[in-house]
């Protein structure tokens, strides 16, 4: 995928947030482990006859979370409910809220990637419009607060949070189309850069945009099927634009 001429007419570059501009997976995994521990204590206390190990509960939570996240289900309360349904456990709303607060107290602390800072500064200096298209953190989370801590948040020309303000979440095409509309650009003049092959890349292409997949660990199988271009670092954007 060495051909980059397809990006010759691009006027705006949109970015996903988690795992694209900031580290998220590692802190999310730590948060899920802590939630699993708290869930296990809750089950032990309230369902003493239920035979489930912490390892089994943790594994189930990770599996359910991954599946729902891929579907664009961003409300963590749904992650907890779906996990505990497997064990026929019905937690109270108070417990669900408590686990969500615990999760975000850990997962909400995100370090910016160095190449993200450099890429945005480079694109702005070259005259490109820069946008952010991300999904909501759901009930109990605060995506606006999280993205406000990004060092270059004021550099973005448009910010779209799917799942909030009557905007459908990714992978629905609506947030991509809305970003283009707000900048007064054609979808063909915009490109989406993200780490998720489905929610970011295929969804953007469905909306009529170009897409660049950021596969930092080079773990996406057949990555070229999801995007117009695949990179392992945002520093490569300076070679494309």
Q: What pLDDT, in 10s, does the model give residues 131-164?
A: 999 999 998 889 999 999 999 999 999 999 999 9
Instruction: Examine the domain organization and report whether 80 and 97 are in the same domain.
Output: yes
Task: Examine the fold and report which residue of 83, 107, 131 is the final residue of a domain before the chain moves on.
Answer: 107
Instruction: Examine the domain organization and report whether 218 and 118 are in the same domain.
Output: yes
Q: How sure is the predictor about 3, in pLDDT bands with cuts at 50, 70 and 90?
A: low
Long-range (24+ apart) CB contacts under 8 A made by 214-221 are 214/19, 214/20, 216/19
pLDDT above 50 for 58: yes
What sign has the CA pseudo-torsion 168, 170, 174, 176?
positive
Distance CA 95, CA 77 (A): 10
pLDDT above 60 for 25: yes
Question: With b meaning 16 or more CB within 10 Å and e meaning fewer, what string describes 153-166?
Answer: eeebbbbbbbbbee
pLDDT above 90 for 236: yes
Instruction: Examine the domain organization and report whether 17 and 129 are in the same domain.
Output: yes
Instruction: Examine the domain organization and report whether 13 and 121 are in the same domain.
Output: yes
Instruction: Examine the domain organization and report whether 41 and 117 are in the same domain.
Output: no
Instruction: Examine the domain organization and report whether 158 and 185 are in the same domain.
Output: yes
The total of structural domains in the chain comes to 2
Task: Show the tokens assigned to 208.
Answer: 């009529």
Instruction: Examine the domain organization and report whether 174 and 226 are in the same domain.
Output: yes
Instruction: Examine the domain organization and report whether 9 and 92 are in the same domain.
Output: no
Task: Show the tokens assigned to 110.
Answer: 């995100």
pLDDT of residue 140: 87
Task: Examine the fold and report which residue of 86, 107, 128 is the final residue of a domain before the chain moves on.
Answer: 107
Task: Examine the fold and report which residue of 85, 107, 129 is the final residue of a domain before the chain moves on.
Answer: 107
DSSP run (H or E) holding 96: helix 93-107
Name which of 133, 214, 208 is nearest 168 in CA terms. Answer: 133
pLDDT of residue 139: 87
pLDDT of residue 1: 46
Instruction: Examine the domain organization and report whether 135 and 90 are in the same domain.
Output: no
- Tokens 């189930």 locate to 60
130 three-class SS: strand
190 three-class SS: strand
Q: What is the pLDDT of residues 185-195, one digit of tens each?
A: 999 999 999 99
212 three-class SS: strand
Instruction: Examine the domain organization and report whether 130 and 206 are in the same domain.
Output: yes
Query: What's the chain's average pLDDT?
Result: 95
Instruction: Examine the domain organization and report whether 13 and 30 are in the same domain.
Output: no
DSSP code at position 202: I
Query: SS3 sequence, 8-19?
Result: CCCCEEEECCEC
Identify the domain containing residue 222 by its residue range.
5-23+110-240
What is the CA angle 114-176-32, rounded to 5? Answer: 55
Instruction: Examine the domain organization and report whether 228 and 119 are in the same domain.
Output: yes
**H helix and E strand count, the chain:** 9, 6
Task: Show the tokens assigned to 123.
Answer: 């694109």
- Tokens 């707000």 locate to 182
The CATH number for 194's domain is: 3.40.50.1000
- Tokens 């998220």 locate to 24
């Amino acid at each position: 995928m060495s051909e980059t001429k397809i990006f010759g007419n691009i006027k705006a570059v949109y970015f996903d947030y988690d795992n694209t501009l900031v580290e998220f997976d590692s802190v999310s995994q730590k948060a899920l482990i802590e939630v699993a521990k708290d869930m296990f204590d809750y089950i032990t206390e309230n369902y003493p006859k239920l035979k489930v190990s912490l390892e089994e509960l943790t594994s189930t939570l990770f599996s359910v979370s991954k599946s729902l996240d891929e579907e664009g289900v961003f409300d963590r309360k749904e992650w907890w409910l779906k996990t505990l349904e497997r064990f026929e456990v019905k937690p109270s709303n108070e417990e669900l809220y408590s686990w969500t607060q615990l999760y975000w107290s850990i997962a909400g602390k995100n370090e910016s990637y160095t190449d993200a800072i450099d890429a945005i500064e480079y694109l702005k200096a070259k005259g490109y419009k820069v946008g952010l298209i991300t999904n909501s953190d759901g009930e109990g989370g605060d995506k606006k607060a999280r993205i406000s801590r990004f060092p270059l948040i004021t550099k973005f020309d448009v910010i779209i949070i799917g799942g909030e303000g009557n905007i459908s979440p990714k992978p629905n095409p609506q947030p991509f189309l809305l970003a283009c509309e707000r900048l007064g650009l054609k979808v063909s003049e915009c490109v989406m850069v993200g780490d998720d092959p489905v929610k970011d890349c295929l969804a953007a292409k469905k909306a009529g945009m170009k897409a660049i997949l950021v596969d930092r660990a080079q773990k996406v199988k057949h990555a070229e099927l999801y995007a117009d271009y695949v990179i392992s670092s945002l520093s490569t954007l300076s070679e494309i634009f």
